[in-house]
Homo-oligomer: A and B are copies of this chain.
Amino acid sequence: MRQRVHLITLGVADLDSSAAFYEALDWRRADGCPPGLVAFDLYGATLGLYPKADLERDIGRALPAGSGALTLACNVRDRHEVTDVIEAARVAGADILCEPRDVFWGGHVAYFADPDGHIWEVAYNPAAPLGPEDQFCWSGFGGEVPQ
């Protein structure tokens, strides 16, 4: 598993009011956010706001309210690497919350919890290729080095 956090997904009760909060702090949403998700590109990673109910549906279990409704994602470059990471996590003692599967947005995704219950998403996202240093942005790097 590459030493990266590519996406921090905050589960939120109301997408518009949560987005308004971060925009009031002068954050600017990424171009091309689909309905139902607000993404803020950071430095080689992205913070996403996503309805908590949708996040729970994706993981397949209820999440605690508040600061617990959050996942960290590590993306991979190839679909089969999702399984590789999940198998390594299983051997390391992770609780596999959701085995690798295709998801509605075209990716291939699994979830595990670390020994303290912190939830990781392992994701292959064909729409957002990683950069040369395995950095992430919402619109993807497309093989180009960002300037």
> Considering only CB atoms, which chain B residue lies closest to A130 in the complex?
B43
Q: When the two chains form their complex, are residues B119 and A67 in contact, meaning their CB atoms are under 8 A apart?
A: yes
Copies of this chain per assembly = 2
Residue of B nearest to A46 (CB): B5
B94 engages A21 (CB within 8 Å): yes
A67 touches B118 (CB 8 A): yes
Name A67's contact: one of B5, B14, B63, B115 (CB within 8 Å).
B63
Give, as a whole number of angstroms, the nearest-CB distance from A97 to chain B: 10
With an 8 A cutoff between CB atoms, is A66 at the interface?
yes
Contacts of A66 in B (CB 8 A): 64, 68, 113, 116-118
A125 within 8 A of B: no
Known: A25-B89, A64-B67, A64-B68. A40 touches B3 (CB 8 A): yes
Give chain A interface residues in 109-130, CB to chain B under 8 Å. Answer: 113-119
A32 to chain B, nearest CB (A): 16
